[in-house]
Structure 1
Amino acid sequence: MDVVGQLKRQDEKALQALMDQYGDYLLRTACLLLKDRQAAEEAVQDAFVTAYYKIGQLQDPLKLKGWLTRIVVNRCRMRQRTRDWKRLFSFARMEPFLEDVSEPGPEQSLMLELRNERLSDAVRQLAYPYREAITLYYFNEMNIEEMSEQLECNRNTIKARLSRGRAQLKRMLEEGADHDGQR
């Protein structure tokens, strides 16, 4: 099925197919970037509407996923700039967005849950440029070149953000482990 061709003909069934195919991926990305599920859902919804009306701007149909990711990242940036983060009270846990590959035992499940919760909390504490780079690289499995293209940044800028983000994450996780050991 040629989703891009159907979208160019304004076929709403193609939009539904697009949402089914990329919805979870884009929502996970937006949640990790915005730290708020409701804002993430709105950003993804805006992205799909934008994609529906601006599909003609997509030059290469093979780059549909990257094009959608760029739209969501831009929507998240826009929300990040305009939102008053001081009014946020709490953040939803990220486990529903992290895929479960196998069925671990109860002890492993608890340890994985604690690790994922600690990691999610640490990622949410990063400054937005670092959070964006870490999310796209590790959670969306984009390479440096793809990130550079999507974010319209120099490759070295992306590498620096990843390096600094990883260093901050490592420091936060080590500090958390030290606090857990002192209890």
Structure 2
Amino acid sequence: MNKALDERSFSQIMEDHTDYLLQIAFLYVKDWPAAEDIVQDVFISFYQKFDQFEERSSLKTYLSKITVNKCKDYLKSWRYRMQVLTNSFSVNSKKQRNRLVEQDEKVELADAVLQLPLKYREVIISYYFEELPILEVAIQLNLSDNTVKTRLRKARALLKEELKNNQWEVLLHE
């Protein structure tokens, strides 16, 4: 199949999906400039390999999957490990809040989610933020649905423990 992607269509795709992909990337990497770089790489990859998009899923799901994979690659990279090491020596790094989190009405919840280990954070992000059903989360993360359910249960327990002294009664009701 010979598909073409003109400049106007590509610009519209970028406009429609950039904010969403930036939020996903930031929730994974916890760094705004890195998230921007990742999303830029996602769009470059998509543009270069558009003809390989088989439309088995929605474009949003496809771009989300690319974003998640690029975030995981970034978290394994030397650049990320050096940044973490450098940030650990910075006294004021905690004071610098990302503009995405500053705008969020639930800063405490976002911080608690960001503190979760990656395997719990990614199921929380996929299930609650991306609003994917458990089966799609399992497919996206290459896990069984029971593993996703278990990780969601554990992530909720960790969040409950973290937020128990705050005003998050809605989350704490069982």
TM-score by length of 1: 0.76
Show CA shifts across 1:139-168 (max 9, x none).
111111111222222212211221111111
SS at match of 2:132: coil
Q: Is the 8 A contact 2:28 2:71 kept in 1?
A: yes
Counterparts of 1:156 and 1:61, CA distance in 2: 24
Matches within 5 A, 1:64-103: 64-82=59-77, 83-84=80-81, 85-88=84-87, 89-90=93-94, 91-92=97-98, 94-96=101-103, 98=104
1:30 and 1:73 mapped to 2: Cα distance?
7
Secondary structure class of the residue paired with 2:54: coil
2:101 aligned with 1:127, yes or no?
no
- Identity percentage of aligned residues: 38
Give the counterpart letter for 1:139 in structure 2. Answer: F
Name the SS of the counterpart of 1:59 in structure 2: coil
CA contact (8 A) 2:29 2:35 kept: yes
Separation in 2, partners of 1:177, 1:60: 44
Supply the distance in 1 between the matched residues of 2:138 and 2:124 (Cα, whole angstroms).
13
Partner of 1:9: 4
The match for 1:42 is 37
Which SS does the other structure have where 1:30 is aligned?
helix
Q: Could you tell me the TM-score, scaled by structure 2's length?
A: 0.80
Q: CA deviation at 1:18?
A: 0.6
Distance in 1 of aligned mates of 2:51 and 2:157? 41
Q: Does structure 1 retain, via aligned residues, the 8 Å contact 2:4–2:51?
A: no
Match of 1:177 in 2: 166
The alpha-carbon deviation at position 177 of structure 1 amounts to: 3.2
In structure 2, the CA distance between the partners of 1:138 and 1:53, relative to structure 1 (3 Å rule), is same
Structure 1 residues 137-146 or 80-89, which shifts more?
Answer: 80-89
Unaligned runs of 5+ in 2: 88-92, 168-174
The separation in 2 between residues aligned to 1:177 and 1:136, in whole angstroms, is 24
Structure 1 runs (4+) deviating above 6 angstroms are none
Which structure ranks higher in relative contact order (CA pairs < 8 Å, sequence separation ≥ 6)?
Answer: 1
Alignment gaps of 5+ in structure 1: 99-112, 179-183
Name the counterpart of 1:32. Answer: 27
